[in-house]
Every structure is written in C-alpha cells, then in structure tokens.
Amino acid sequence: MPNAYISGTGFFAPPRVVTNDDLRSIYGIDTNDEWIQQRSGIKERRFAAEGVSCSDLAVPASEQAIQRAGLQKTDIDMIVFCTLSPDQMFPGTGVYLQRKLGLCDAGRFIPCLDVRNQCSGFLYGLSTAVALIQNGSYRHVLLVGAEVHSSALDLTTRGRTVGVLFGDAAGAVVLSATHEDRGVRGTYLGADGRYADTLSMKIWNIGNRPFIPVDADGFGRIEPRSMYPQMDGRAVFKNAVERLLVVLGESLQKHNLAANDVDLFCFHQANLRINEYVRDQMNVPAEKVINNIERYGNTTAATLPSLLFEAEQSGRLRRGMKVVLAAFGAGFTWGCSVIDW
C-alpha cells in the first residue's frame, strides 16, 4: 500500500488589506484595534473584491501547489474542495475550480468532491484524499481550502463579534503517492452535533417553505439573524480548547509521541488565545507553533494549508520533520493529523 505525502503547497490572499482601524473608519463599526487584538490576536485581514468567488482565489493557490509538486495540471487525478463559503448553493465549487484550471479543455474530467466541514474541513478533506491514495484509486489529489467570508459578514456594530474575525484566502496542497517511508501517518476526526447551532448560519434553512420568506411581489426578505453567522463565543472557546487538547493527546499517543518529539505544530487560526492556551497546556515551546492569524484573520478551511505553505517557504518546515495539524470548528467538528514531512 502506498503512502500519501504532501508534494506541493500553495497559498493566495487577495491584495486588499483591511486593518482593525479600517473596520472602524471605513465600515463604521464601533470597535478599535486594541479591543480586537486583545480578544483574537488579529491585526488585519484580506477582503476579496466584488465579483471574486472562492474558486477564483483557489486558482492561483492550486497552480502554485501543482508547480511546487513538480507536476502539470493534467497530472491531477481528483479535486477535493473544502469551503464554508461556496461560489453558490449548488453545484459544488470543485467543478468550478476544475473548469478554471483548464482541465475540462484538456479533456481531464476528473472527479471533484466538496467538503463542508468549515474550520475542520481541510483535515476532513485530508483524511479523504489520503485514503483514496492509499487504496490505489489515485496518485495525485489536489486538496484546496478557500474562503470568501467578506461577502457574508455583518460589517456593522451589530455584527462585530463575528464580523471582525474573518478574512478571505485560499490554500492548497497536492497529495501524492509514494513508497518512501514518509507522509501522512494518521488523521483523527470527531464531531459533536449537540452544538450544531452554537456556530451557524441559517440562511439556507431548507426546512422553511420557501427557505427565504418572500413578499407579495416575490422578493425575498431575510432577517439579519438568519443572513449572517451567529456564534456563542464562550461556548466555542471552551469546547475548542477541550477538544483540541484531547484529540492532540490521543493522536500523539497513537504514534507513541510526546509533544517534544514534534518539530512543528499548525493549529487552526480561529483565535490566537485558543492556540496559546492549548500550546501552554501541552508545554510546547512557542517557536514550535506557527501562526498567521494576525495578518489574515480566520480563513477557515484555508488556515492549515496557508500555514504549511508559509512554514515550508520560510524554511521552518523541512524534509524529515514531524508536523502535527489540528483544528476545531462549527458543528462542532475537530481533527488532528500527524505527518512525516
């Protein structure tokens, strides 16, 4: 059975930088830089231009990952696309990326799978891609996490609790088959649906008839609480640290590892305070944990591939290192992966 390793990484963020002060001065949100940094660690984030979708952001990230893997686009056997901000309700966003990469024009009608596990999406997608490589179905799988949050944030004082946290970006990796003794050693996932409504966005509640209320002329009218994400921040923080500590501990134990045996930890970039708490509880030195939330905010499914790209590009992640990925998000869902780079 072949191993699956990450042969290439890629990342793209839109050029527009939105600082914490910009949220106050441009959008009129009653907030300030100190308040946001103190609660989240975020200094700035990126917002995509109007008309830009998450598949658009995914194109340069994917092309970079494919190029860094030493492959051509036509070498890709499957696309796994992770996002909570799809281009539209359906079809899945993976097929749009396939088309925009030129694979259809090249006659490469490869399968495309969308994964909707929010902040844990990349790890759920990673588990899927690795399994398909290990069972011999495919040799090269393009795994993408991409988000355009800015279109669906309540960027007013009313929505500041959630609106200040998120940014737009795309990260991608190529998973490839190898018979070398390296690659993804295991990915461990979990979920607790009791908290499904604790962090959610109700606009697509298909149980409603119609799912968006309409007036006499047939125009939809949506109340803000349904239109924008809603979050119980305290419940998210409490469950995040508890679940991350458990899944990290269990994953390391399964591989007979101590925290000191790991060269680099990549935690999902939801809140710097969560990551610092988990790091301190595990007695992990700060230099073994990479963060970029201060520059990009929470980019959901894109956070982990963006960290891998930056760590590899900067030289912090090198061949032979042991790296651990962990994430927690809406659902609640969570996961951890142990990788020999």
Taking the C-alpha atoms of residue 323 and residue 126, their distance in angstroms, rounded to an integer, is 14
Taking the C-alpha atoms of residue 117 and residue 112, their distance in angstroms, rounded to an integer, is 16
Taking the C-alpha atoms of residue 59 and residue 197, their distance in angstroms, rounded to an integer, is 32
Sign of CA dihedral 164, 166, 168, 169: positive
Q: What token pair was written down for 206?
A: 């298909």
Marked catalytic residue, from 271, 275, 291, 298: 298
| C-beta of residue 43 within 8 angstroms of C-beta of residue 22 | no
Taking the C-alpha atoms of residue 30 and residue 301, their distance in angstroms, rounded to an integer, is 28
Sign of CA dihedral 221, 223, 228, 230: negative
Marked catalytic residue, from 266, 268, 271, 292: 268
Element (H, E) at 68: helix 54-68
Catalytic, 119? Answer yes
DSSP secondary structure string for all residues of 207-233: TSSSSS-B-TTS-B---HHHHS-EE-H
Taking the C-alpha atoms of residue 56 and residue 49, their distance in angstroms, rounded to an integer, is 11
Marked catalytic residue, from 54, 119, 266, 336: 119
**CB-count burial class (<10 Å; 0-12, 13-18, 19+) for 108:** middle
| Active-site residue list | 119, 268, 298
